[in-house]
Chain A
Amino acid sequence: MGEKVVLPEGAELKEFRPVAYYDAHMDCIRVLTHDRSVTEHRLNETFTIYECNHRCGFDPEYVGFSIKGVRHIFADVGLDLKGVYTLTEIINRIVSSKPGSGLAVMLGLIFRSHQNIGDLPVHMEQELYEAA
C-alpha cells in the first residue's frame, strides 16, 4: 500500500463518474470518462485528447478530451455560457453551425470515439469538485 492520504477536515471523496465541465480558468470544456493519469495530445489549437497512461484490464486507450477557446466558439454558434447543456447539445450545435468544416469533422470523430457520454451534462459555471 502507498502513502496514506489525510483529507482536510470536512472533505469527503466521492466515487468517480464520467464528467464534463467548463474550466473557466483555462477557457475549455474538459470531458473525462475514467479517473486515470493521462497524457494530453494536442491535435490542434482547439482539440486535445487524453491518453490513459497506465492501462490495465479493460481501460480504453483514450479517456477524455478537451475543447479549447470555448468563449469564442460559444459566441460564434450562439450558445449562452451560463447555460447547462448536455454534451450532445453542444456538439450538435457546433457541427450544425459549421457543417463540413474542419472543426465540425474533427469534433464528430472525437465524440464518436468516446461512447456513452452524450447525455453528460456540461456544467458551465461550476468547478470540477462541484460537478463530479
Chain B
Amino acid sequence: MLVSDNDCADKAKYAFTWDAKKDALLGGDKFSPFVEHMDAPPGRVFVVYISPNEMLEKYPDIWGWIEHWAWVSADPDLEGAPIDWKKRYEEKVWSRADQK
C-alpha cells in the first residue's frame, strides 16, 4: 500500500477484528438521529483498521486513528478473524484464542 511516500504503509497499520454480536445503524432524520442496534450479520466478524499515532509529542493522548471499519466473512478456523487473514495481514500480533 502506497500512502504519501511510504510504499509499505500497510505494514504500519493494525487490524482489530472480533466476532461482534451487534450491528449499529443510524436511523431517524438529520434533525433527530438515533442509533438502532441489530443482531450482527451471521458468519461475519467486525474489522477496524488503525494507524498508530506517529506524532505522540504533538498528540500525546491519542493512541491511533481509526481509518476504516467493515464486516467481513469469518474465518472457519480462527475465532474472531476474517477469512483469509493470513493473506490479508503480515502477521498475527495477538489472538484471544491463543490465551485460552
Which chain A residues have a beta carbon within 8 Å of chain B's beta carbons? 1-5, 7, 12-15, 23-27, 35, 37-42, 50, 53-54, 68-69, 71-72
Complexed CA–CA distance, A13 and B29 (Å): 8
> Are A71 and B35 touching (Cβ within 8 A)?
no
CB distance from B97 to the nearest CB of A (A): 22
B65: chain A residues within 8 A (beta carbon): 25
Residues of B in contact with A, size category: 20 to 34
Complexed CA–CA distance, A69 and B2 (Å): 7
Complexed CA–CA distance, A38 and B25 (Å): 11
B36 within 8 A of A: yes
A2: chain B residues within 8 A (beta carbon): 27, 34-37
> Are A15 and B71 touching (Cβ within 8 A)?
no
* Closest A residue by C-beta to B49: A26
CB distance from A96 to the nearest CB of B (A): 23
> Are A71 and B2 touching (Cβ within 8 A)?
yes
CB distance from A70 to the nearest CB of B (A): 9
CB distance from A76 to the nearest CB of B (A): 12
- Choose from B3, B25, B44 the contact partner of A25 (Cβ within 8 Å): B3
CB distance from A64 to the nearest CB of B (A): 11
> Are B67 and A13 touching (Cβ within 8 A)?
no
Q: Which of B1-24 contact A (CB under 8 A)?
A: 1-3, 9, 23-24
> Are A3 and B3 touching (Cβ within 8 A)?
no
Q: With A27-B3, A39-B72 given, can you name 7 additional A-B contacts, CB distance below 8 Å?
A: A2-B36, A12-B30, A13-B33, A25-B51, A39-B41, A39-B71, A54-B41
B41: chain A residues within 8 A (beta carbon): 37, 39, 53-54
